[in-house]
């Protein structure tokens, strides 16, 4: 009887000990193995949708280039290995000011656009090697901030010459398709790709370009037949431009609504931010602006300055967000340019964006363009 009692006590103590150990492990072991610990990785995917309408004008496919960010435990990252770190730069506190008296919906509806770039031949009615992404109108001149990889053809080693601006309403409660608004020209993009040991050995981080709205679509253009979308109406144009091109507008016809930049925001780990872009849905269509809310999780320090440079935001962005906006919800202002989404065990877990100050510095160096 005593032997049975002793074995019963022993088993009970053993079970309790195992339970206690499991609790401790679960308490301290990181739940997100994509971000800490083990020999795991996230894949940074260029969030651009590409399609070829010359063969099938209404069927879109998605093609993505991947960057693997390896995070080995207990080692300093080497070339091609990026290890996101908490933001350690402590900026002085600032008073939050809204960048515009307009509502958030009005700002987004009048400044976030969709880009289709490729090789357009109106005579033969073909539009080939198309790259589809997002852009942000950043000033009243109609200049658009987007990603280099949207407008640049890596196979041909040159920029895609024909780009078009499309837009759907935001919010888009009736799931309306985008309409075709303008032709745009490429103003500038980095001629030399920049790489960093702390980022990736085979993908560049100066992923930005400036485009400019040139004109409305010519009525004889066949681009609507190729894309399968309608042209914008006069009422549609008034959303992007105060006068919409009407005769009463005069010189104001060349002025556009835009998304102001928040120059006061200083990022901190855990900040809530908004990502916006023409994200691809389950059917591979990207017909409306998608907004997601996420928390700032870390920073990839390119030059060792310890200042915010490449931000990682926990959000469910999808392909098509390339060239989209990272927004501070408190000010409603632009604070970063989205370039990639990450995938791995948790697809779309992180949205990767070039922070405002780093972007301004790079654009001044590479393009002699001052972001204002």
Name the one residue in this structure whose structure tokens are 């560049």: 204
Buried b (16+ CB within 10 A) or exposed e, 196-217: bebbbeebbbbbbbbbbbeebb
What's the pLDDT tens digit per position in 124-138?
Answer: 889 999 999 999 999
Least confident piece of the model among 41-55, 237-251, 326-340, 343-357? 41-55
Q: What is the CATH number of the domain that holds 333?
A: 2.40.10.120
Secondary structure tally for the chain: helices H, strands E? 6, 17
Per-state percent for the chain, helix, strand, coil, to nearest 5 = 20, 30, 50
β-strand partners of 299: 85, 311
What are the two backbone dihedrals, phi and then psi, of residue 277, each rounded to the nearest 5 degrees?
-175, 170
Name the one residue in this structure whose structure tokens are 């392909």: 319
Whether residue 58 has pLDDT greater than 50: no
Cis peptide before 171 (omega within 30 of 0): yes
Q: Could you tell me if residue 308 is inside a domain? A: yes
Q: What angle do CA 267, 351, 75 make, to 5 degrees?
A: 80
Q: Could you tell me if residue 321 is inside a domain? A: yes
Eight-state DSSP code of residue 264: S
Q: Quick one: which of 210, 213, 160 has its CA closest to 184?
A: 213
* Residues constituting the chain: 372
Comparing 360 with 43, the larger pLDDT belongs to: 360
The tally of domains found in the chain comes to: 1
252 three-state secondary structure: helix
Cut 0.95: pTM above it: no
β-strand partners of 333: 328
Distance CA 121, CA 119 (A): 7
Comparing 343 with 75, the larger pLDDT belongs to: 343
The pLDDT of residue 92 is: 67
Q: Could you tell me if residue 262 is inside a domain? A: yes
Whether residue 90 has pLDDT greater than 70: no
Distance CA 83, CA 41 (A): 10
What's the pLDDT tens digit per position in 262-307?
Answer: 999 999 999 999 999 999 887 788 899 999 999 999 898 888 888 9
Residue 36 confidence class, pLDDT cut points 50, 70, 90: very low
Q: Could you tell me if residue 201 is inside a domain? A: yes
Whether residue 75 has pLDDT greater than 90: no
Sign of torsion over alpha carbons 85, 88, 94, 95 = positive
Q: Could you tell me if residue 313 is inside a domain? A: yes
Residue 341's domain comprises 40-367
Q: Quick one: which of 31, 24, 42 has its CA closest to 348?
A: 42
Mean pLDDT score of the chain: 79
Sequence-ordered alpha helix ranges (H) in the chain:
2-28, 104-109, 148-151, 223-227, 234-240, 356-367
Q: Could you tell me if residue 24 is inside a domain? A: no
Q: Could you tell me if residue 65 is inside a domain? A: yes
Whether residue 81 has pLDDT greater than 70: no
The pLDDT of residue 146 is: 98
Comparing 107 with 64, the larger pLDDT belongs to: 107
Whether residue 80 has pLDDT greater than 80: no
Whole-Å CA distances, 105 to 102, 122, 276, 294, 334: 8, 35, 12, 18, 14
Whether residue 73 has pLDDT greater than 70: no
Whole-Å CA distances, 251 to 122, 139, 245: 30, 16, 9
Distance CA 129, CA 228 (A): 16
Q: Could you tell me if residue 20 is inside a domain? A: no
Distance CA 231, CA 221 (A): 10
Sign of torsion over alpha carbons 86, 91, 92, 95 = negative
Distance CA 277, CA 286 (A): 9
Comparing 270 with 18, the larger pLDDT belongs to: 270
Whole-Å CA distances, 358 to 80, 83, 198, 303: 20, 18, 15, 10
The answer to whether 293 touches 265, Cβ cutoff 8 Å, is no
């Amino acid at each position: 009887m005593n032997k049975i009692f002793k074995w019963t006590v022993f088993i009970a103590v053993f079970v309790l000990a195992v339970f206690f150990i499991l609790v401790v492990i679960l308490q301290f072991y990181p739940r997100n193995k994509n971000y800490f610990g083990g020999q795991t990785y996230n894949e940074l995917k260029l969030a651009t949708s590409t399609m070829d309408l010359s063969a099938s004008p209404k069927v879109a496919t998605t093609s993505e280039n991947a960057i693997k960010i390896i995070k080995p435990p207990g080692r300093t990252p080497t070339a091609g290995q990026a290890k996101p770190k908490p933001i350690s730069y402590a900026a002085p506190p600032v008073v939050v000011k809204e960048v515009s008296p307009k509502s958030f919906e009005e700002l987004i509806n009048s400044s976030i656009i969709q880009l289709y770039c490729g090789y357009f031949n109106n005579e033969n009615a073909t539009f080939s090697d198309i790259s589809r992404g997002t852009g942000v109108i950043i000033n009243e001149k109609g200049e658009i901030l987007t990603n280099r990889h949207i407008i640049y053809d890596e196979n041909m080693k040159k920029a895609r010459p024909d780009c078009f601006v499309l837009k759907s309403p935001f919010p888009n409660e009736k799931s309306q398709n985008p309409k075709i608004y303008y032709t745009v020209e490429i103003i500038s993009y980095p001629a030399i790709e920049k790489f960093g040991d702390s980022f990736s050995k085979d993908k560049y981080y100066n992923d930005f370009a400036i485009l400019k709205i040139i004109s409305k679509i010519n009525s004889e253009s066949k681009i609507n037949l190729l894309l399968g979308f309608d042209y914008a109406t006069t009422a549609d144009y008034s959303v992007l431009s105060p006068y919409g091109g009407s005769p009463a507008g005069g010189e104001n016809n060349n002025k556009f609504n835009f998304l102001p930049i928040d120059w006061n925001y200083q990022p901190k780990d855990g900040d809530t931010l908004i990502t916006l872009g023409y994200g691809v849905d389950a059917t591979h269509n990207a017909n409306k602006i998608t907004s997601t809310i996420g928390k700032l999780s870390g920073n990839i320090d390119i030059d060792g300055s310890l200042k915010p440079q490449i931000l990682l935001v926990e959000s469910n962005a999808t392909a098509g967000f390339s060239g989209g906006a990272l927004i501070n919800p408190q000010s409603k202002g632009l604070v970063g340019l989205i370039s990639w989404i990450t995938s791995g065990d948790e697809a779309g877990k992180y949205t990767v964006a070039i922070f405002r100050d780093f972007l301004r510095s790079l654009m001044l160096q590479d393009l002699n363009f001052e972001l204002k």
